[in-house]
Amino acid sequence: MLDAAARATSSQTTGGRPGPPDAFYPRPIDLSGLRPGAVNVRDLGEGVQVIVVPGGEQLHVFREICPHMGGPLGEATVCKDATLECPWHGYRFSLETGRLVDNPNARIMAELRRRAPDCFKPDKAPGYALTPMTYQVVGDRAYVRRRRSDA
């Protein structure tokens, strides 16, 4: 069973593949093969890869690409504070919302950033966020819904 939070982005049914067929990526996620609390990379077909982080009884499903520089989130680290750390630059994203919650370099590079010339304007930073993917569970499989922008 999925908990209430999971039901916010998914629904659980029994039977075969959910419809309409073109609303979902062709390859479902096999729930029994997921490592809990870890990053699982899954290929949905059509060149789309996602990461799946089972948390409690819900799944956090995001595109495998870091919104900052395109880093491989399949190699990301799940941190104790329910964030995901990108392996390239250490940016941390909330597993719950997908939003950037910390750029540790702001502290590591504080002295350099403070004395940077006019060409560095941190206040103009975009609101980086992981791309969330919604899904529908059928039996022991999760079917990931296509995003409108991917159609």
38 or 106: whose CB is closer to another protein? Answer: 106
Q: Please report whether residue 7 would count as binding another protein according to CB under 8 A.
A: no
Residues within window 59-98 making contact with another protein, judged by CB under 8 A: 65, 68-72, 85-90
Nearest to 27 by CA among 2, 44, 5: 44
Q: What angle do CA 151, 39, 102 make, to 5 degrees?
A: 90
Nearest to 53 by CA among 31, 27, 71, 26: 31
Q: Which stretch binds another protein (CB under 8 A): 3-11, 22-30, 101-109, 143-151?
A: 101-109
Residue 99 CB, nearest approach to another protein (Å) = 16
Binding residues for another protein, how many (CB under 8 A)?
A: 30
Q: Please report whether residue 123 would count as binding another protein according to CB under 8 A.
A: yes
Is residue 98 within 8 Å of 92, Cβ to Cβ?
Answer: no
Is residue 25 within 8 Å of 146, Cβ to Cβ?
Answer: yes
Q: Please report whether residue 31 would count as binding another protein according to CB under 8 A.
A: no
